[in-house]
């Protein structure tokens, strides 16, 4: 990735990483799963494309772009683009108390995705405490860096290879700007290790929502990695 060798990024790579990853699970209404998530200190990622409820937990807001793209890929939706009306609705109702809001993007959309995110960014910042720009395949540190600050952070999206190979660079870039860094779709030990080693602030996954029995295993991986880094 361009920019990964910049002096300021290299210097930031040696800063202490976060003590422990914050974990978000895709929103669920199942009481037993919610109780287990609360006990483990997890939070919810509430999607614009899903049910707009927080279940009384701390939460962040996802714009629904990945859900729309995935449904289109599987032939269940006519367009791969997010529903902007649903996004507007959830930000207006839940945005003020969200940990962060992921600004609209286009999955694996490169420059087109960034242009869309930057158009939405001012509107989102007026309605929440922190907005995250979803970085996609082909984006560079030079493109994203100037937009980052304590209220504008990075959501590491994109394809699998892009996500896994570029997460360390995005984490370093975010720290160098005093910004937040979150990684999406983290459901395996490998990705938890990558996220923790990079020093990101948080991650989300669907595994514990779809398969509640995996919570103990994923929480154990997360805690083990945190201990190794401290």
What residues are paired with 202 via a beta bridge?
Answer: 22, 182
Alpha carbon 134 to its chain centroid, in Å, reads 8
**DSSP track, 81-108:** S--HHHHHHHHHHHGGG-S-EEPP--TT
The crossing angle, in degrees rounded to 10, of helices 189-198 and 160-176 is 20
Check residues 6 and 135 and name the one with the higher pLDDT. Answer: 135
Report CA-CA distances (Å) from 157 to 19, 73, 162.
23, 17, 8
Report yes or no on 23 lying in a domain: yes
Report yes or no on 221 lying in a domain: yes
Once rounded to an integer, what is the mean pLDDT over residues 132-159?
Answer: 97
Instruction: Identify the pLDDT of residue 16.
Output: 44
Look up tokens 């939706």; give the residue: 77
Instruction: Identify the pLDDT of residue 33.
Output: 96
What is the tens place of the pLDDT at every residue in 7-45? Answer: 444 334 334 444 578 999 999 999 999 999 999 999 999
Instruction: Identify the pLDDT of residue 15.
Output: 40
Report yes or no on 1 lying in a domain: no
* Residues in contact with 177: Cβ distance below 8 Å, sequence separation at least 6, in sequence order: 145, 148, 149
d(CA 164, CA 155): 13
Report yes or no on 48 lying in a domain: yes
Report yes or no on 2 lying in a domain: no
Instruction: Identify the pLDDT of residue 228.
Output: 59
Range of the domain at 193: 7-228
Please count the other Cβ atoms lying within 10 Å of the Cβ belonging to residue 72. Answer: 15
Look up tokens 């923790």; give the residue: 196
CATH number assigned to the domain comprising residue 204? 3.20.20.105
Instruction: Identify the pLDDT of residue 12.
Output: 43
Report whether pLDDT(76) > 90.
no
d(CA 105, CA 113): 5
Once rounded to an integer, what is the mean pLDDT over residues 159-172?
Answer: 96
Choose among 30, 24, 27: nearest CA to 180. 24
3-class secondary structure, 49:
coil
Report yes or no on 62 lying in a domain: yes
Once rounded to an integer, what is the mean pLDDT over residues 188-198?
Answer: 95
What is the tens place of the pLDDT at every residue in 110-129? Answer: 999 999 999 999 999 999 99
What is the tens place of the pLDDT at every residue in 214-225? Answer: 999 999 888 877
Q: For a pLDDT cut of 90, what percent of the chain falls above it?
A: 78
CA-based torsion, 156, 70, 190, 227: positive or negative: positive
Once rounded to an integer, what is the mean pLDDT over residues 141-153?
Answer: 98
Instruction: Please tell me the total number of residues recorded for the chain in this structure.
Output: 230
Report yes or no on 192 lying in a domain: yes
Report whether pLDDT(175) > 90.
yes
Instruction: Identify the pLDDT of residue 2.
Output: 42
Q: Please compute, for residue 134, the number of CA atoms within 13 A of its CA located in the half-sphere on the CB side.
A: 28
Average pLDDT of the chain is 90
Count of structural domains within the chain: 1
Alpha carbon 104 to its chain centroid, in Å, reads 12
């Amino acid at each position: 990735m361009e920019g990964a060798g910049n002096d300021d990024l290299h210097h930031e790579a040696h800063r202490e990483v976060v003590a422990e990853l914050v974990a978000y699970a895709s929103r669920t209404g199942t009481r037993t799963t919610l109780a287990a998530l609360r006990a483990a200190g997890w939070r919810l990622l509430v999607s614009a494309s899903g049910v707009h409820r927080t279940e009384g937990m701390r939460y962040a807001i996802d714009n629904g772009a990945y859900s729309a793209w995935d449904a289109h890929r599987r032939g269940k939706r006519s367009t791969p683009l997010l529903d902007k009306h649903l996004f507007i609705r959830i930000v207006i109702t839940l945005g003020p108390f969200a940990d962060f809001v992921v600004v609209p993007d286009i999955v694996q959309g490169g420059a087109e995705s960034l242009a869309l995110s930057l158009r939405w960014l001012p509107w989102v910042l007026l309605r929440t405490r922190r907005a995250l720009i979803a970085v996609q395949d082909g984006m560079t540190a030079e493109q994203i860096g100037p937009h980052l600050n304590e209220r504008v952070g990075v959501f590491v999206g994109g394809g699998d290879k892009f996500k896994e190979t570029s997460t360390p660079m995005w984490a370093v870039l975010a720290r160098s700007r005093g910004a937040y860094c979150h990684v999406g779709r983290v459901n395996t030990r490998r990705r938890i290790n990558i996220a923790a080693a990079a020093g990101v602030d948080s991650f989300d996954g669907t595994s514990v929502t779809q398969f509640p029995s995996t919570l103990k295993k994923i929480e154990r991986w997360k805690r083990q990695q945190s201990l190794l880094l401290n």
